[in-house]
A = this chain, B = another copy of it.
Amino acid sequence: MLSDVNDIAYRRMIASHPVLTGVRPAHEVLPGLRRNLILHAAPPATWQTMSETMRGGMTGAAMFEGLASSAAEAAAMAAAGQIEFAAAQDHGAMAGGVGSITASLPVMVIEDRSNGNIATHFLMEGLGKTLVAGACDAEVLARLAWFRDTLAPLLDAAIRAVGGIDLRTIMAEALTQGDELHNRNRAATNMLLNRLAVGLLGLPADPSTHRRALDFIAATPQFFVGTVLPAAKLMLRAAHGIPGCAVVTGIGANGRDCGIQLSGTGNRWFTAPAEVPRGILQPGFSVVDAAPACGDSLCVEAAGLGAAVLPAAPALWPAIGATAEGAIRYHADAQTLALGEHPHYRIPALGGRGAPVGVDARRVVATWTLPVIDIMIGHRQPGIGMIGMGLVSPPLTCFQQAVAALDGGYCPQLPDSDPPGASAVPVSKLGLDSRMADARPATTVA
């Protein structure tokens, strides 16, 4: 019976077919998004329990939305309950990093052609200070205003002019061009840019605006990831709601807690304190500066991309502190947890093997093998932003709680041969190089 439900989940996930259909104001496509509500990375957080970094992102969003004229005013309103918060994944949206979605912010709209579901994500802001990294100043707000007033309507028109953009095709090709589609999206961004350029050529001529749009995207190598998070979520959502199924269909970290949802346990989040990613920090920063993991992008690995296909992206290895051997091991671990291989997303460096689709929480619990995610590392203090890149895993206890809830008190048999020790993710397992010797030990889980 378990293999039956996993088979149903697998077939639904690989049928998911993401297409970029437009860039619209969030309130148009997310009906529940009232003006004083800010959507953030899962699991759900309150202002009182929110991390400092995420608070920085939220006050910036409130200023962009015109709810407050300063960070202090936004903080006071949030503390008084005048600004509300919810997890983006509970509202048809995705929020990478400490990013946020508010009513007037433009979002990329991704439709699953296999079932009509949609998912959305904000436009990536590029290099320098960004709201997605928790920074907010006049430059950040001016860029977001340009997104809202100029870039988003232009991209929306270009996407419609070409009849939508097939993301599955781009993602499949990008995996043969050195992208793993989480923290490396250079080839995919170039392919998206080509399609957008064709669309722009069909619009009334406005060369300087068109050129600024193309130049911005060309200078934003992670632009495409704003479509990958929704595409990954659509794959997970296709498998949601199967009774008895332990496949992960929601996963995220909000800078304080990490949480997961399973297919068979409805909309409940199973949470535990998020770990601090270990990796490569920029000069001048040390591990004590690093914030716990944050962002809905953990869904990328749950879908079978990102670190699960890290052998596809050798140029990313040194940036996150991984070795070739580590990359092979993360993929092998992901295969241990997966339902099967993806027929479209194939990795030439692995002899054309398909990406490992899905994470079966029962296998996580039974084997103590955790998904590995490559991720941006943010500073603990708001306003500083990204300080490095590395790897992180969700705590084992999230999976143990979720499986117990699904199976009504089910307690996994501990394997005799592979004691987990005191650490959820032994540093030795992550295959990190010597630069990471000073990394913070993994959080101990009960």
Contact = CB atoms under 8 A, between A and B. Distances in A.
Contacts of A163: none
Nearest to A221: B173
A178 B211 contact: no
B218 A211 contact: no
B201 A186 contact: no
A210 B201 contact: yes
Across the A-B interface, give the 5 residue pairs with the lowest CB-CB distance, nearest first.
A197-B197, A314-B348, A315-B348, A176-B315, A314-B349
A317 interface: yes
Interface residues of A, number: 31
Interface in A18-41: none
Contact of A187 (B190, B211, B215, B218): B190
Contacts of A442: none
Nearest to A210: B201
A197 B214 CA distance: 9
Contacts of A207: 201-202
Contacts of A214: 194, 197-198, 201
A198 B215 contact: yes
25 contacts: A173-B186, A176-B314, A177-B186, A178-B187, A178-B348, A187-B187, A190-B190, A190-B194, A193-B194, A193-B197, A194-B218, A197-B197, A197-B198, A197-B214, A198-B214, A200-B201, A201-B207, A201-B211, A201-B214, A202-B207, A202-B211, A205-B205, A315-B348, A318-B352, A349-B349
Contacts of A179: 177
Given A187-B187, A197-B197, A198-B211, 6 more contacts: A177-B177, A177-B315, A194-B197, A201-B201, A201-B211, A315-B348
A30 B273 CA distance: 69
Contacts of A211: 198, 201-202
A287 interface: no
Interface string A208-224: 00110011001000000
Interface of A: 173, 176-179, 186-187, 190-191, 193-194, 197-198, 200-202, 205, 207, 210-211, 214-215, 218, 314-315, 317-318, 324, 348-349, 352
B177 A187 contact: yes
Nearest to A199: B211
Q: Specify how many copies of this chain sit in the oligomer.
A: 2
Contacts of A190: 187, 190-191, 194
A211 B173 CA distance: 22
A117 B176 CA distance: 35
A416 B201 CA distance: 65
Given A191-B190, A194-B214, A194-B218, A348 B201 contact: no
A314 B312 CA distance: 9
A207 B162 CA distance: 13
A193 B173 CA distance: 16
Among A201, A205, A218, A324, max chain B CB count under 10 A is at A201
A177 to B, nearest CB: 4
A339 B166 CA distance: 45
A324 B351 CA distance: 9
A352 B210 CA distance: 36
A198 B200 CA distance: 10
Contacts of A177: 177-179, 186-187, 315
Contacts of A202: 207, 211
Nearest to A195: B218
